[in-house]
Structure formats: structure tokens, C-alpha cells
């Protein structure tokens, strides 16, 4: 049974993770503040309702995973797999995030105000990810749908084996992965990018970005492309 709570503090110095997650999952709506997270793993996961959650500190692995409708702000850094398999809603990290941020995400918006490590957006399936800083290697690997926006630099093998996701990078790209190429930046792409930057609260000029996407050479198996698979 869902409940409605407002301005509720959940203190991880007094409650365990299951108690905190249960309270968040069972609330139909409301505003929550989670204090003393202390790098706890799997915090604020599986939220299915439009609650607002502010986590005051650093989180461990898989914070805000499987999010649906909720708005979760992590005031600190996040470990591996933040917002993994996210469906909708908004997840914001005010610091840095570790690897696999937004992995397999189907929808919603993930904002990382700092930097993120390797494999950000791996196998993304509709999620939009905006990163204020730099990203590591192999990001957007096998990305199928959605957008990855990078206000800083991108590491090696960006967009390897990408499908129809779109990548926008303002800074330097170390190298592109298999079947990923630079593509024309048209008016509709600038408009899309401007909207995502506005939603993320990023002050950046869309005209300073380049767009990357699939060359569509690996959609069907061809023996001549064997080394690229």
C-alpha cells in the first residue's frame, strides 16, 4: 500500500538501507531527505512513484537504479551503475560518477554535473544523459536509443557498435569506436541539444558541440567487416 509523506528525513545512522528503501518505495508522493548515506549501495532503488528524494552525501553502487517517475538528487558522488535500468524521472549527481552510469536506461534524464568514468550509457535504450565534465572510455557502447551529451572531453572508443543513439560532445574525443562516425549537426539536432542542456541546467552553447552516431555498416553481418565485430 502506498502512502503520502512530506518533508520526511530518513537517517541512515538510525535506519538500515532496507527500511529507507521501503519507505521511499511505498510513498505515493512526497519530499524526502536521506542523511548519512556513507557510501551505501543500492540506495533509493526501484522507486515507482513521483516522489522527490535528496541524498545528502556520497552513494555506493547502483544508486537510484530502476527509477520510475521519481526525482532523485545525490549531493555528492555516486559509485558504479548509478541510475542503471532507469525507466523515467530524473536522477541528478552533483559530483562525479563511477563507471556504467545510466547503463541500459530506457527513459528519463540522468544528469552528472561532474565527470564520469568508463562505459557511461552502455546499452542505453532511450535514456538521456547529460554530463557536465568528462567521460571515460567505451561510453555509449552498443547504445540503441536516447542521447548522451558531454560538455567536456570523451575517452577512447566512443560509441563503439552504436545503433541509433545520438552523441553530442563539446570537447575532444580520444577516438571513436567501431561503426561510430562524426555526423552533420542540423537544426533539429541543435534544438534537441539545447532542450537537454536547459533541462540539465547546463550553461553551454549548442553550436560548440559535434554530433556522433552510427555509420550503419555493422547492422548486418558482412565477412569483410569481421575484424570490426
Domain boundaries, the chain: 34-228
What are the grid coordinates assigned to 11, written together? 537517517
Distance of CA 95 to the CA centre of its chain: 13
Tell me the whole-structure pTM to 2 decimals: 0.93
Fold (CATH) for 34-228? Pectate Lyase C-like (2.160.20)
Give the residue among 97, 160, 155, 163 at the shortest CA–CA distance from 129. 97
Under 8 Å between Cβ of 169 and 197: no
The pLDDT score that the predictor gives to residue 222 is: 65
19 is written with which cell numbers?
527500511
- ∠ CA(114), CA(50), CA(111), 5° rounding? 15
Give the span between the Cα atoms of 37 and 55, in whole angstroms: 7
pLDDT score of 2: 53
pLDDT at residue 1 in the model: 46
Q: What is the pLDDT along the chain (229 residues), one digit of tens a residue?
A: 455 555 799 999 999 999 999 999 999 999 999 999 999 999 999 999 999 999 999 999 999 999 999 999 999 999 999 999 999 999 999 999 999 999 999 999 999 999 999 999 999 999 999 999 999 999 999 999 999 999 999 999 999 999 999 999 999 999 999 999 999 999 999 999 999 999 999 999 999 999 999 998 876 656 566 565 5
Amino acid at each position: 500500500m502506498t502512502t503520502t509523506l512530506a518533508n520526511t528525513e530518513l537517517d541512515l545512522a538510525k535506519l538500515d538501507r532496507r527500511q529507507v528503501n521501503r519507505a521511499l518505495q511505498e510513498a505515493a508522493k512526497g519530499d524526502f531527505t536521506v542523511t548519512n548515506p556513507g557510501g551505501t549501495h543500492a540506495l533509493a532503488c526501484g522507486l515507482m512513484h513521483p516522489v522527490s528524494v535528496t541524498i545528502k552525501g556520497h552513494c555506493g553502487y547502483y544508486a537510484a537504479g530502476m527509477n520510475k517517475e521519481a526525482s532523485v538528487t545525490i549531493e555528492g558522488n555516486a559509485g558504479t551503475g548509478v541510475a542503471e535500468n532507469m525507466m523515467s524521472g530524473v536522477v541528478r549527481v552533483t559530483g562525479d560518477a563511477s563507471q556504467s552510469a545510466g547503463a541500459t536506461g530506457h527513459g528519463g534524464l540522468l544528469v552528472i554535473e561532474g565527470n564520469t568514468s568508463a562505459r557511461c550509457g552502455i546499452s542505453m535504450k532511450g535514456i538521456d544523459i547529460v554530463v557536465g565534465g568528462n567521460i571515460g572510455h567505451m561510453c555509449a557502447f552498443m547504445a540503441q536509443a536516447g542521447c548522451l551529451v558531454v560538455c567536456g572531453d570523451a575517452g577512447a572508443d566512443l560509441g563503439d557498435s552504436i545503433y541509433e543513439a545520438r552523441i553530442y560532445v563539446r570537447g575532444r574525443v580520444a577516438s571513436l569506436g567501431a561503426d561510430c562516425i562524426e555526423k552533420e549537426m542540423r537544426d533539429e539536432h541543435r534544438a534537441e541539444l539545447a532542450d537537454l542542456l536547459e533541462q540539465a541546467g547546463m550553461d553551454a552553447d549548442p553550436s560548440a558541440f559535434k554530433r556522433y552516431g552510427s555509420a550503419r555498416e555493422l547492422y548486418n553481418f558482412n565477412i569483410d567487416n569481421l575484424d570490426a565485430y
